[in-house]
């Protein structure tokens, strides 16, 4: 499953005004930990497809989005519900961390 990359201009409609929970992965192409996270995030996103929307933001090309949400390190995954951040994961993010976070966000 490929996760779509969105920009600052799309965050309002795709994330903050979304009907259900949304995970937003802040990454950079040159970031080794981001590459480690990518397949984990894709696997968990497949499990929660239809229940948690997942998008990515490239901080190298869209720093205003990272600044808007006070993202200080990458990778960082923010989870939103009703336009509000409800969870934040950063650093070494395991697949079980993602699964537990998505489960709580989706109400499972």
Answer whether residue 100 shows pLDDT above 90.
Answer: yes
Q: What is the pLDDT of residues 26-67, one digit of tens each?
A: 999 999 999 999 999 999 999 999 999 999 999 999 999 999
CA–CA gap between residue 5 and residue 7 (Å, rounded): 7
Spatial contact of 90 and 59, defined as CB atoms under 8 Å apart: no
- Ordered by start, the domain boundaries in the chain are 8-106
The predicted pLDDT at position 2 comes to 73
pLDDT number for residue 1? 62
- Select 8-106's CATH number: 1.10.3720.10, 3.40.30.10, 3.90.1150.10, 3.40.309.10: 3.40.30.10
Which pLDDT score, from 0 to 100, does residue 107 have? 87
Mean predicted confidence (pLDDT) in 67-94:
96
What is the rounded average pLDDT for all residues in the chain? 95
Q: Is the peptide bond before 75 cis (omega within 30 degrees of 0)?
A: yes
Query: Kind and range of the H or E element at 23?
Result: strand 22-27
CA atoms within a 13 Å half-sphere pointing along the CA-CB vector of 39: 2
> How confident is the model at residue 21, as a pLDDT?
97
Q: 66-86 b/e with 16+ CB inside 10 Å = b? A: beebebeebbbbbbbbeeeee
Task: Single out the residue of 44, 87, 49, 96 nearest to residue 69, CA to CA.
Answer: 87
């Amino acid at each position: 499953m490929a996760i779509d990359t969105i920009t600052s201009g799309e965050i309002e409609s795709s994330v903050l005004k979304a009907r259900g929970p949304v995970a937003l992965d802040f990454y950079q192409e040159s970031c080794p930990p981001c590459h480690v996270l990518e397949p984990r995030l894709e696997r968990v996103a497949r499990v929660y497809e239809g229940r948690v929307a997942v998008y990515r933001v490239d901080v190298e090309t869209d720093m205003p989005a990272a600044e808007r949400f006070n993202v200080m390190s990458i990778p960082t995954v923010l989870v939103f519900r009703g336009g509000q951040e409800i969870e934040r994961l950063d650093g070494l993010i395991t697949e079980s961390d993602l699964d537990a976070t998505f489960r709580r966000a989706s109400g499972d």
